């Protein structure tokens, strides 16, 4: 990762970790093929006719001979919500240092940090079989701290490896969010999409509902690629447990690997095609990989929205 998980975990607060992830990403961005891609953390915006003169920053005018208006925390350019899957399947890890939930939490925290620096309003919606919290989108620092507090609660739960089974009902949660959001927003969904196959159509229907309500959608499918996509386990018998329903199955990975990979590819392709049809951005996240591609996917989406 931009910073190794072990190093990040030693930093005292989630906010500090998020800051380091974003700073590392921006530093890498300047050395990549996306060198010209700007990440503006402006404290000012150009003066527009009708703006109150008392908000003009005269020190900036003295340097640049152009009028700029001071940006205040209550001003916002974009309203965005992060829906974070907190179901029990998100507690999985095998090869990696972080569970899918911990990875998703740090990615969400990094997004919030970027949004706040860009004066965008951000909100948080953790969900499993139901919506656990609905923190509305605002752009103040006090509000950002409230979001980090909620994310840190989830980290504590993850660290304790909470025994209760939390099932997933993504479609229900997404439908509810589509109904509750009264203003056009960007909805960023972080989930492993691990539900019964017959419920995939319901999730697609719920995503379509968001688009019908004029919301922009960015869907991140977070998995530990080596285990959950590739089934790249040693050739010996394993007992796999359903983390949400207490069911177990004994498997020799070599015997089922090819068929398993085919089915995973089929369901991923199904979501990718549906998202393309409804103009939804779809991206894969690997918990053993870096955050940079996922952060870049957000920035590209953000730039298109203006």
Q: Rounded distance, CA 6 to CA 9, Å?
A: 5
Tokens for 251?
A: 């498997």
pLDDT digits over 192-248, tens only? 998 766 678 899 999 999 999 999 999 999 999 999 999 999 988 988 887 777 788
Q: Rounded distance, CA 12 to CA 265, Å?
A: 39
pLDDT digits over 91-121, tens only? 999 999 999 999 999 999 999 998 888 888 9
Q: Report the pLDDT value the prediction gives residue 40, as an integer from 0 to 100.
A: 52
Q: Report the pLDDT value the prediction gives residue 73, as an integer from 0 to 100.
A: 42
Secondary-structure breakdown of the chain: helix, strand, coil percentages, each rounded to the nearest 5: 45, 20, 35
pLDDT digits over 168-198, tens only? 889 999 999 999 998 999 999 999 998 766 6
**59-63, 72-76, 94-98, range with the lowest pLDDT:** 72-76
Q: Report the pLDDT value the prediction gives residue 189, as an integer from 0 to 100.
A: 97
Are 15 and 109 a contacting pair, CB within 8 Å?
A: yes
Q: Does the pLDDT of residue 72 top 90, yes or no?
A: no
Q: Which residues of 216-236 are buried (b: 16+ CB within 10 A; e: fewer)?
A: bbbbbbbbbbbbbbebebeee
pLDDT digits over 131-157, tens only? 999 999 998 888 999 999 999 999 988
Q: Does the pLDDT of residue 269 top 50, yes or no?
A: yes
Q: Rounded distance, CA 21 to CA 293, Å?
A: 12
Tokens for 159?
A: 């660290």
Q: Does the pLDDT of residue 17 top 60, yes or no?
A: yes
Mean of pLDDT over the chain:
84
């Amino acid at each position: 990762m931009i910073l190794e998980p072990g190093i990040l975990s030693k930093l005292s607060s989630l906010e500090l970790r998020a800051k380091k992830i974003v700073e590392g990403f921006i530093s890498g961005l300047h050395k990549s093929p996306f060198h010209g891609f700007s990440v503006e953390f402006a404290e000012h915006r150009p003066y527009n006719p009708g703006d109150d003169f008392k908000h003009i920053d005269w020190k900036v005018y003295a340097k640049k001979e152009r009028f700029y208006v001071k940006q205040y925390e209550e001003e916002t350019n974009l309203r965005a919500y992060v829906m974070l899957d907190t179901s029990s399947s998100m507690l999985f890890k095998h090869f990696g240092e972080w569970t899918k939930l911990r990875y998703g939490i740090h990615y969400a925290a990094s997004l919030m940090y970027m949004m706040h620096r860009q004066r965008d309003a951000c909100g948080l919606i953790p969900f499993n079989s139901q919506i656990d919290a609905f923190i509305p989108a605002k752009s103040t620092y006090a509000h950002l701290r409230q979001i980090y507090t909620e994310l840190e609660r989830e980290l504590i739960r993850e660290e304790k490896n909470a025994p209760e089974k939390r099932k997933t009902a993504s479609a229900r949660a997404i439908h509810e969010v589509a109904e509750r959001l009264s203003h056009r927003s960007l909805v960023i969904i972080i989930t492993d999409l691990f539900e019964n196959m017959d419920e995939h159509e319901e999730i697609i229907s719920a995503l379509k509902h968001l688009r019908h309500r004029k919301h922009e959608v960015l869907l991140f499918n977070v998995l530990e690629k080596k285990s959950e996509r590739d089934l790249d386990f040693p050739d010996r018998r394993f007992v796999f447990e359903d983390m949400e329903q207490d069911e177990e199955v004994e498997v020799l990975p070599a015997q089922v690997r090819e068929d398993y990979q085919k089915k995973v590819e089929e369901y991923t392709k199904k979501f990718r095609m549906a998202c393309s049809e409804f103009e939804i951005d779809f991206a894969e996240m690997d918990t053993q990989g870096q955050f940079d591609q996922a952060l870049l996917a957000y920035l590209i989406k953000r730039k298109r929205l203006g």
